[in-house]
């Protein structure tokens, strides 16, 4: 039974120095998700009570200013924290992205001779230190201190939030206003905190120009994603992408509505060059339609395949690096092909949140639903080549189709219908008349 759930990681990032406000909340995304400002990415692996969370880290500033405070539901040991690989998250992002597919109309004259029309399907990647004695006196216990990759990790527990907040302040961390209340609430719920900050020397040695994602593995009934700390000093809505990997099926929230993004829509051909704008405006419109309270399902699919593929499915090795612990490690023993079925189901959720509309942390659950879903948008190129027959009927039909696509696009994005029409390359036939021809008009043709 998969009702159980986890907790993890609300994340508030704080600047060590006064110069940096740092970024507040989750991490800023790369690649495809970078079209949104203030976006962050989290990979959640969940099976039973076991959870592995990977938090992408796209902090763009002086790394000496970087630190992150993460609430965790249990005491964490050294082996439970790891530093992951951003490239794998980028790959997962690309694999699950909403996608644009292109079809090309075949020669209409040939079609008449063939009943079956073959369609070419082509996938486009969618645009693509601390003194411990002092600490103890403030009611803060540094339970453990580790060095993981380029990070120094401190695991804290505090009897009361004041102690933790005071300790953070004394150590040069700037914390958002109101954080003490949220921290206090989490502490009363028996959660612990860890602080990750960058060890400059190790970071230099590692040779990475950016901060790699932090990973934590733990076991807890709670399956949730704390977002409250992240909303504290955010003036605007933030975007969060959750990539959930499970054995059973789709993941959804139990305390907010999970809504499917409109999908399989035919849209005008010019959107091919404007896909990022299209997707951003469509998403904004959907958020509004759900009164800013919806969580959007963008992808739900069995990890062993895709159709069409925006990127190849992740390899077993990549999945293991994200924490998919139930996949056997074949890397040492098996050098030939990986197993066909990975038994991993991926869910991509996209939420745009703020404190007003998302007062409570996201509570998640696994469902048994393995129905595939993808955000898929279709452009159909009209036939423009030479033809051996009269194309008037084809052009009329194309014109009608293009008009439908224009209206579809306007309703999905809120773009101006006349501007859309102006960008469509209509065939050179008169616009279809709105009033239908009388029934007898073609009677004796």
Residue 213 burial (CB count, 10 A): 23
Q: Is 133 in the site for other proteins (CB under 8 A)?
A: no
Q: Is 360 in the site for other proteins (CB under 8 A)?
A: yes
Site string for other proteins, 308-347 (x = CB under 8 A): ----------------------------------------
Backbone angles phi, psi at 376, to 5 degrees: -135, 130
Of 312, 307, 329, 302, the closest CA to residue 245 belongs to 302
Q: Which stretch binds other proteins (CB under 8 A): 22-30, 220-228, 403-411, 422-430?
A: 220-228
Q: Which stretch binds other proteins (CB under 8 A): 215-223, 263-271, 321-329, 410-418?
A: 215-223
Classify burial at 392, counting beta carbons within 10 Å of its beta carbon; exposed 0-12, middle 13-18, buried 19 or more: exposed
Q: Cβ 187 to other proteins, closest distance in Å?
A: 9
Residue whose CB is less far from other proteins, 296 or 383: 296
Restricted to residues 248-277, the positions that interact with other proteins (CB under 8 A) are 248-249, 252-260
Backbone angles phi, psi at 235, to 5 degrees: -85, -25
Number of residues that bind other proteins (CB under 8 A): 41
Residue whose CB is less far from other proteins, 171 or 411: 411
Q: Is 236 in the site for other proteins (CB under 8 A)?
A: no
Residue 200 burial (CB count, 10 A): 13
The answer to whether residues 37 and 204 touch, using CB atoms and an 8 Å cutoff, is no
- Residue 381, classed as helix, strand or coil, is strand
**Distance, CA of 248 to CA of 244 (rounded, Å):** 11
The answer to whether residues 61 and 24 touch, using CB atoms and an 8 Å cutoff, is no
Q: Is 234 in the site for other proteins (CB under 8 A)?
A: no
Q: Is the dihedral of CA 332, 338, 344, 345 positive or negative?
A: positive
Residue whose CB is less far from other proteins, 134 or 360: 360
> What is the DSSP annotation of 220-284?
-SB-EE--HHHHTT-SS-EEEEEEEEESS--EEESSSEEEEPP-SEE--GGGGGGHHHHHHHHHH
**Distance, CA of 407 to CA of 276 (rounded, Å):** 19
The answer to whether residues 3 and 365 touch, using CB atoms and an 8 Å cutoff, is yes
Residue whose CB is less far from other proteins, 182 or 420: 182
Residue whose CB is less far from other proteins, 64 or 285: 285
Residue whose CB is less far from other proteins, 73 or 84: 73
The answer to whether residues 389 and 270 touch, using CB atoms and an 8 Å cutoff, is no
**Distance, CA of 325 to CA of 253 (rounded, Å):** 23
Q: Cβ 202 to other proteins, closest distance in Å?
A: 36
Q: Cβ 275 to other proteins, closest distance in Å?
A: 25
Q: Is 219 in the site for other proteins (CB under 8 A)?
A: no
Q: Cβ 383 to other proteins, closest distance in Å?
A: 37
Q: Which stretch binds other proteins (CB under 8 A): 51-59, 208-216, 290-298, 412-420?
A: 290-298
**Distance, CA of 97 to CA of 299 (rounded, Å):** 7
> What is the DSSP annotation of 270-323?
GGGGGHHHHHHHHHHHHHHHTTT-EEEEEEEEETT--SS-SSPPPPHHHHHHHT
Residue whose CB is less far from other proteins, 35 or 232: 232
Q: Cβ 345 to other proteins, closest distance in Å?
A: 11
Classify burial at 62, counting beta carbons within 10 Å of its beta carbon; exposed 0-12, middle 13-18, buried 19 or more: middle
Selected from 139, 184, 262, 308, the binder of other proteins by CB under 8 A is 184
Q: Cβ 220 to other proteins, closest distance in Å?
A: 8
Q: Is 368 in the site for other proteins (CB under 8 A)?
A: yes
Selected from 17, 147, 189, 264, the binder of other proteins by CB under 8 A is 189
Q: Cβ 188 to other proteins, closest distance in Å?
A: 5
Residue whose CB is less far from other proteins, 145 or 293: 293
Q: Is 365 in the site for other proteins (CB under 8 A)?
A: yes
Length, in residues, of the chain = 445
Residue whose CB is less far from other proteins, 111 or 259: 259
The tokens for 208 are: 């990475």
Q: Is 2 in the site for other proteins (CB under 8 A)?
A: yes
**Distance, CA of 205 to CA of 20 (rounded, Å):** 24
Q: Which stretch binds other proteins (CB under 8 A): 1-9, 102-110, 196-204, 385-393?
A: 1-9
Q: Cβ 11 to other proteins, closest distance in Å?
A: 18
Q: Is 3 in the site for other proteins (CB under 8 A)?
A: yes
Residue 417 burial (CB count, 10 A): 13
Q: Which residues contribute to the site for other proteins (CB under 8 A)?
A: 1-5, 7, 181, 184-185, 188-189, 220-224, 248-249, 252-260, 290-291, 293-294, 359-360, 363, 365-371
């Amino acid at each position: 039974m998969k009702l159980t759930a986890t907790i993890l990681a609300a994340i508030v990032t704080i600047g060590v120095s006064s110069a940096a406000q740092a970024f507040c909340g989750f991490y800023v995304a790369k690649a495809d998700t970078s079209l949104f400002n203030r976006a962050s990415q989290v990979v959640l692996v969940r099976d039973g009570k076991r959870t592995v969370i990977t938090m992408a880290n796209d902090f763009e500033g002086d790394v000496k200013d970087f630190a992150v405070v993460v609430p965790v539901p249990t005491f964490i040991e050294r082996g439970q924290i790891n530093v992951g690989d951003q490239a794998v998250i980028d790959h997962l992002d690309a694999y699950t992205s909403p996608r644009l597919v292109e079809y090309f109309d075949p020669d209409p004259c040939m079609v008449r001779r063939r009943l079956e029309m073959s369609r070419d399907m082509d996938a486009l990647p969618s645009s693509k230190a601390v003194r411990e004695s002092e600490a103890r006196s403030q009611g803060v216990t540094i339970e453990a201190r580790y060095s993981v990759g380029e990070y120094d990790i401190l695991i804290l527990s505090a009897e009361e939030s004041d102690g933790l907040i005071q300790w953070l302040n004394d150590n040069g961390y700037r914390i958002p206003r109101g954080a003490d209340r949220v921290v206090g609430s989490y502490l009363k719920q028996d959660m612990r905190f860890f602080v990750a900050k960058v060890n400059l020397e190790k970071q230099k040695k590692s040779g990475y120009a950016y901060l790699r994602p932090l990973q934590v593995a733990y076991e807890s009934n709670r399956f949730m994603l704390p977002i409250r700390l992240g909303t504290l000093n955010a003036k605007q809505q933030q975007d969060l992408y959750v990539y959930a990997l499970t054995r059973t099926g789709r993941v959804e929230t139990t305390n907010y509505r999970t809504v499917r993004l409109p999908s399989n829509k035919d849209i005008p051909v010019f959107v091919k060059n404007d896909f990022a704008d299209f997707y951003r405006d469509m998403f904004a419109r959907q958020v509004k339609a759900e009164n800013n309270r919806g969580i959007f399902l963008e992808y739900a699919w069995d990890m062993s395949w895709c159709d069409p593929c925006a990127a190849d499915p992740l390899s077993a090795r990549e999945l293991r690096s994200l924490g998919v612990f139930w996949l056997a490690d074949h890397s040492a023993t098996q050098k030939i092909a990986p197993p066909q079925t990975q038994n991993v189901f991926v869910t991509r959720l996209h939420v745009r949140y703020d404190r007003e509309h998302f007062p409570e942390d996201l509570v998640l659950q696994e469902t048994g639903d393995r129905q595939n879903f993808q955000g898929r948008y279709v452009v159909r190129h009209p036939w423009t080549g030479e033809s051996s027959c009269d194309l008037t009927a084809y052009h009329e039909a194309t014109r009608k189709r293009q008009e439908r696509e224009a209206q579809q696009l306007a309703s999905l994005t809120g773009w101006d219908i006349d501007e859309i029409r102006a960008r469509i390359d209509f065939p050179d036939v008169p616009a279809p008349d709105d009033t239908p021809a009388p029934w007898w008009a073609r009677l004796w043709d």
